[in-house]
């Protein structure tokens, strides 16, 4: 039996990453896989890249890793966007940029007879969005192959990140797992009258999957564990004095509230969810 840790969406949060890597070491885990978005948002992006390089066996590319290492045309951007893009780009060394640009899209392996496919967001698009609120046909598309996948098989288990909220869901004898986010955990379903303790959200999240690695025998056991690790949020914030989006960053890592709820509400609308029902 092998134990694999799958981590994602660090977003420059060094304290959260250190806490997760410490926990992984303590549990004697065999292999660590990162699903991308190492950078953007937090100030300690370079340090996070170094830690990921030194501690992960496989690293995939996230949409932020792709976007902020691109040559972005700033001529049609707002002042605020230009400031944000420039700040994030300036956090990276030349070597960091090369490293992030070269990261692969997808990774696959068999575990206890199941084809496990990993990517940052969806098989089709690096910044696609499929969440636990989506309809079953959209969820099913996560299992399908694309030009970006390693093989043309339909996956048995899909593991992805990007939405920053952990969940496990079974459909059609297949399993979808979202690892959650190491450095930027959020919950977009919020209501002052219904909300529980925010510390259920503002933790560093990751996934452990345990089974026989590279085995094609389905008659073997497999298990999934969603892990939540508390970390020093105050220390992380104190290191971010230069952060040009400090108030949004603080709201996310202290209160688990996403910075751009208007965008989320639009996606609720597309999915037929009335925001007033939440």
The footprint of Mn ion (CB under 5 A) covers 37, 62-63, 162
Pick 65 or 236: Cβ nearer Mn ion: 65
CB neighbour list of residue 99: distance below 8 Å, 6 or more residues apart: 49, 53
Pick 11 or 257: Cβ nearer Mn ion: 11
CA dist., res. 95 & res. 255, Å (int)? 34
Pick 114 or 162: Cβ nearer Mn ion: 162
Min separation Cβ 223 and Mn ion, Å: 26
CA dist., res. 244 & res. 228, Å (int)? 28
**84: number of Cβ within 10 Å:** 18
Pick 23 or 37: Cβ nearer Mn ion: 37
Min separation Cβ 152 and Mn ion, Å: 25
CA dist., res. 34 & res. 166, Å (int)? 15
Min separation Cβ 109 and Mn ion, Å: 22
Pick 117 or 120: Cβ nearer Mn ion: 120
Q: Which residue sits closest to Mn ion, CB atoms considered? A: 162
Min separation Cβ 37 and Mn ion, Å: 4
Per-residue tokens: 238:
């104190």
**237: number of Cβ within 10 Å:** 18
CA dist., res. 38 & res. 95, Å (int)? 15
Min separation Cβ 126 and Mn ion, Å: 8
DSSP state of 77: S
Closest by CA to 257, choosing from 266, 248, 265, is: 248
């Amino acid at each position: 039996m092998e134990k694999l840790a799958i981590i994602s969406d660090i977003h420059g949060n060094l304290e959260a990453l250190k806490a997760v890597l410490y926990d992984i070491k303590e549990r004697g885990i065999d292999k660590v896989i990162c699903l991308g978005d190492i950078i953007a948002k937090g100030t300690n992006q370079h340090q996070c890249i170094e830690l990921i390089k030194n501690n992960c066996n496989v690293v995939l590319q996230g949409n932020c890793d792709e976007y902020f290492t691109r040559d972005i045309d700033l001529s049609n951007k707002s002042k605020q966007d230009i400031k944000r893009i420039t700040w994030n780009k300036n956090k990276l060394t030349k070597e960091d940029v090369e490293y992030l640009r070269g990261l692969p899209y997808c990774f696959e392996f068999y575990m206890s007879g199941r084809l496990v496919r990993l990517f940052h967001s969806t098989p089709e698009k690096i910044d696609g969005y499929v969440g636990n609120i989506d309809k079953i046909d959209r969820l099913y598309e996560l299992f399908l192959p694309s030009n970006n996948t390693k093989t043309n098989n339909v996956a048995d288990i899909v593991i992805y990140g990007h939405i920053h909220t952990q969940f496990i869901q079974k459909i059609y004898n297949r399993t979808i797992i979202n690892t959650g986010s190491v450095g930027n955990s959020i919950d977009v379903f919020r209501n002052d009258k219904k909300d529980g303790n925010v510390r259920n959200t503002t933790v560093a999240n990751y996934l452990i999957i345990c089974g026989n690695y590279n085995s094609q025998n389905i008659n073997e056991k497999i298990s999934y564990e969603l892990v939540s690790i508390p970390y020093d949020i105050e220390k992380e914030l104190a290191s971010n004095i230069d952060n040009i989006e400090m108030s949004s960053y603080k709201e996310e890592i202290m209160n688990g509230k996403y910075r751009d709820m208007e965008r989320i509400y639009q996606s609720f609308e597309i999915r037929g969810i009335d925001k007033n029902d939440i």
